[in-house]
Structure 1
């Protein structure tokens, strides 16, 4: 029988990160946001069922943290230091790397929380960590969207044999600042609701403390994230890339046909990589939102395990981006190798 949506049950135990809530959260006697049901913290419950689980998970998160910090820091360093890397596209890659680096930088705090089974870091850091988590959710996909718009405009200008005088490094910097401002506004509600509280077991937890009616606010927050953080930007990316490939396919030049054919293949491969990796890492996370809103899943070991896998997958996107947008670029590899040689000398 479904229980009442009391404030106690809604403020029950906490997952080690907000993202885990998507599959762990249902609409029966479970809680919302970062919480689980019956005043029992999910990590303790799952620990009883799988003792090795809390050894493996921190290892996975640590690998993601190490690879993400190394890769994104290298991207930031090369773009800022190498003169030839100061391009419009690289400006967006730089901001994408900053967003991912910021998230992986605070990932050790989530690992510590997972191992300690409570939140020892205070209310201010709670708001900061939850805000950064949401910054990562929104900023990554928004910068990918801006990069898609930029590529589409470049292809369009090429087809029409026109120049783009306003496409400058400075303009890209202004656009990037606007994206950060937009993401800040989007994330602000989560920052406001983030708080530390003590549950029925006298355990300090950090999570989203929604006002009454909690069920309404929970569903509203999930729909809010789903639409603004996935549906709109991913739809935009897919439409732009489809139009871009269509224009390239129908593009005719009187000369340099081989270069055009090479450009088609390069763009096609990049489109495939971008969309595949982005959708592979984030689609399960957002589909879990739909599952949480439409079904009543029991809190079984399988469900909790799947939720952690989905969370880890979304984390992994932060360490894959450097390889996708920078390390696959010949100019970046040359600049990176040259800087390493200079440092060694």
Structure 2
């Protein structure tokens, strides 16, 4: 069915439930349905390959982080190290959900509603836990770099607090996933295609859907961004007052962390804001516009997913101490020659670095 730009305005679903992205599903006047075959075809072309690349890279990077922290027990003596280990675990669990979405983009959701709820909830738990842990890392860096005296005096207490905070982060992330347990299910469209989506109760003005989207935007992006901006701004001010040889390298690391977070999460959250706006007051009235929105939404979501495979490189592999541990681990396994004067190890220790073993530099560059 070809829909021209002069298509009759689109209206939202008025059945028992309100489908997620109701801007992309509904009846035209006269009974014509907006055909989304082009959107599904687009997804089937690029999502499987991209998702598997993210899974492979993310699995390698995050598994190596977990391996290092479990192999070198003395690593978990700093607050940020505890957050990093939990961040890697959260990213690994998140990556386990991507093969399901890759299969969904090719042949639809063939796993049933129970697994739809489980996979959706696992994704949301690890999404929120990752965002909260990134926020905790930025706060810990702020305390250690900007409030150095306080950090040194409370080092032992902070390590204990970090473990308690991680437990609270996981519990809070689980609470934030309750909408997925309530509303996620497998549905069938008019063409016989099954898909895993959120199906909200049809209440006045789509209040349930708007509340869920608003909660995700605020807790999963806005609050972490505000906290990270405050912490890293003050860290940069502190570093600019020092004469450290590695000051500029530290600043580049911080800018990279913030830039990747913003560029990976801002586009998708902007689409969520637009979707919430649509749920409150439908403005998209043309099928082709609906299709373009769906495609843009899928692309932005994929971009946000890439953050899970970039975290190890941003937060762990940039650290000299972490790279030295990787070299030692591979030497222990016989993958690298064991040389006392290894150039790799020398290059990591012959000069001072903001990524050294001190508490202050650990918090800055891990």
Superposition TM-score tier, normalisation by shorter sequence: 0.7 to 0.9
- Counting matched residue pairs gives 314
Correspondence list, 1:136-215, <5 A: 136-158=126-148, 163-213=153-203, 215=206
Per the normalisation by structure 1, the TM-score is 0.81
Q: Which residue of 2 is the match for residue 321 of structure 1?
A: 311
1:279 counterpart = 2:262: yes
Q: Which residue of 1 is the match for residue 71 of structure 2?
A: 81
Per the normalisation by structure 2, the TM-score is 0.77
Residues 270-329 of structure 1 deviation map (CA, whole Å, 9 limit, x = unaligned): 221111000010000111122223363445354333222211101111100010011111
Instruction: Work out which of the residue numbers 103, 110, 113 in structure 1 matches 2:104.
Output: 113
Instruction: Report SS of the residue matched to 2:202.
Output: coil
Instruction: Work out which of the residue numbers 23, 26, 50 in structure 2 matches 1:26.
Output: 23
Residues 121-179 of structure 1 deviation map (CA, whole Å, 9 limit, x = unaligned): 12221111111221233122111110111111112332679522344544322211111
Q: Is the 8 A contact 2:125 2:174 kept in 1?
A: yes
Unaligned runs of 5+ in 2: 1-8, 336-366
Correspondence list, 1:248-259, <5 A: 248-250=239-241, 258=243
Instruction: Work out which of the residue numbers 104, 129, 133 in structure 1 matches 2:123.
Output: 133
Return the alpha-carbon distance in structure 1 between the equivalents of residues 193 and 156 of structure 2: 55
**CA radius of gyration, larger in:** 2
Instruction: Report SS of the residue matched to 2:201.
Output: coil
Correspondence list, 1:190-269, <5 A: 190-213=180-203, 215-250=206-241, 258=243, 261-262=244-245, 264-269=247-252
Unaligned runs of 5+ in 1: 12-20, 31-36, 251-256
Report the alpha carbon displacement of residue 220 of structure 1 after superposing the two structures with TM.
Answer: 1.7
Q: Is the 8 A contact 2:12 2:22 kept in 1?
A: no
Q: Is the 8 A contact 1:71 1:319 kept in 2?
A: yes
Q: Is the 8 A contact 2:186 2:195 kept in 1?
A: yes
Distance 1:167-1:278 versus aligned 2 partners, 3 A rule: farther
Which runs of structure 1 show a deviation greater than 6 angstroms over 4 or more consecutive aligned residues?
A: none
Distance 1:161-1:302 versus aligned 2 partners, 3 A rule: closer
Report the alpha carbon displacement of residue 262 of structure 1 after superposing the two structures with TM.
Answer: 3.4
Q: Is the 8 A contact 2:143 2:150 kept in 1?
A: no
